[in-house]
Amino acid sequence: MKDIAKRAGVSESAVSFALNDRPGVSAVTRDRVRRVAEQLGWRPSTAARALSGEGSATVGLVLARPAATLGVDSFFLQLISGIQEILSERQLGLLLQVVEDVPAECAVYRRWWAEHRVDGVLVVDPRTDDPRPDLLAELGLPGVVIGALPAGDSGRHPGLSQVRADDAGAMAAIVGRLHELGHRRIVHIAGLPSLAHTERRIRSLRIEADRRGLPEARSLTTDYSDTQGAAATRRVLEEDRPPTALIYDNDVMAAAGAAVTTGLGLSVPGDVSVISWEDSALCRLVRPWLTALSRDSVAFGRIAATELAALLDGGGARTVQVPLPRLIERESLDRARS
């Protein structure tokens, strides 16, 4: 208000009257104040409205993924449930927006900052080349990254808290178990290639395959949808040396892949074992029941929201490691037969 008053040549009280549409200033003064405010990037503050009883403090969450894949993604539904539990206890609102890509997500952060819409943000799906941490530092927005930043980026952003999942350790455990069961031709149907956790899973598969002498193990990337998961499954199963085990980065692709496998006249798990990275009710609704990695995604959301609340209370940023998920072995996993 001081900056606007100085530039517009009026008192701070006149600025307040003009910006809040209150009587006490002329139409000419009101227009001049608003033009200056716009030039300075001012937007109405929802935080101020919260203090006056007109609203509530808010944190933001932007999902930059194809909208069609989010409606069937059990991980995000559970994650948001956990986030909302903590925010409700703190009487904080959650502002959620879905966008097409990271540049659009960055534009949302800039707009939210300019309009004082949120006090902090939860950031999902860290990228291999991620502009968001630098942007949040520039804007001064507190943030919690859900999922680990790339190894080289973690130390560059001491102001961001992280809730880390051990994707590399989980993939190593899956490959180790498949190796014990005699599987040598393993294909990983992965998610989006730009995501840091996708890169970690692919790299871990490659490292474990090299260590165990599995030259035919490999990864294929998709958009996480059942359509692309099914297409990738059909492609690899129609090869001359098809895999004996398939690892999918989510439950929807795993269910679609199992359906494609049986549609090709193959047996699950007789010919092909199937593992889902995410466990959900879907894994127990298809036949055979799907082997899956089980992790508490609701607790993941609770931890992330708790860390953001701590930042908003003036606490320091820190990194929290969630427990390694465990493999729940069901009917879709068996010993390799060829």
Element (H, E) at 115: helix 102-115
330 domain-assigned? no
Same domain, 70 and 185: no
pLDDT tens track for 232-241: 999 999 999 9
Q: Which residues of 260-296 are buried (b: 16+ CB within 10 A; e: fewer)?
A: bbbeeeeebbebbbbbbbbbbebbeebebbbbbbebe
The pLDDT score that the predictor gives to residue 155 is 56
210 domain-assigned? yes
Q: Rounded to 5, what percent of the chain is helix, strand, coil? A: 45, 15, 40
The number of domains in the chain is 3
Same domain, 266 and 277: yes
When pLDDT is cut at 50, 70 and 90, the band that residue 43 belongs to is: low
Q: Which domain holds residue 195?
A: 167-293
Question: Residue 67 pairs with which residues in a beta bridge?
Answer: none
52 domain-assigned? no
Q: What is the rounded distance in angstroms from the CA atom of residue 25 to the CA atom of residue 15? A: 9
The pLDDT score that the predictor gives to residue 75 is 85
pLDDT tens track for 135-193: 999 999 999 999 888 765 655 677 799 999 899 999 999 999 999 999 999 999 999 99
Q: What is the rounded distance in angstroms from the CA atom of residue 191 to the CA atom of residue 194? A: 9
Question: Residue 301 pairs with which residues in a beta bridge?
Answer: none
The pLDDT score that the predictor gives to residue 54 is 46
Contact call for residues 161 and 221 (beta carbons, < 8 A): no
pLDDT tens track for 194-220: 899 999 999 999 999 999 999 999 999
Same domain, 134 and 146: yes
Query: H-type helices in 141-188, by residue range?
Result: 167-180
Same domain, 213 and 305: no
193 domain-assigned? yes
The pLDDT score that the predictor gives to residue 153 is 60
137 domain-assigned? yes
Same domain, 221 and 285: yes
Same domain, 15 and 84: no
Same domain, 182 and 142: no
Same domain, 161 and 217: no
Q: What is the rounded distance in angstroms from the CA atom of residue 139 to the CA atom of residue 112? A: 10
- One-letter amino acid identity for 262? T
Same domain, 275 and 180: yes
Same domain, 171 and 283: yes
334 domain-assigned? no
Element (H, E) at 99: strand 93-99
Structure tokens at 251: 């439950």
335 domain-assigned? no
328 domain-assigned? no
CATH number for the domain spanning 127: value is 3.40.50.2300
Contact call for residues 189 and 246 (beta carbons, < 8 A): yes
> pTM score, two decimals?
0.79
Q: What is the rounded distance in angstroms from the CA atom of residue 313 to the CA atom of residue 86? A: 14
Same domain, 276 and 303: no
Nearest to 122 by CA among 87, 158, 168: 87
Q: Both ends of the chain: CA-CA distance in Å? A: 74
Same domain, 286 and 314: no
Backbone angles phi, psi at 265, to 5 degrees: 85, 15
Strands 143-146, 218-221: pairing kind: unpaired
CATH number for the domain spanning 10: value is 1.10.260.40
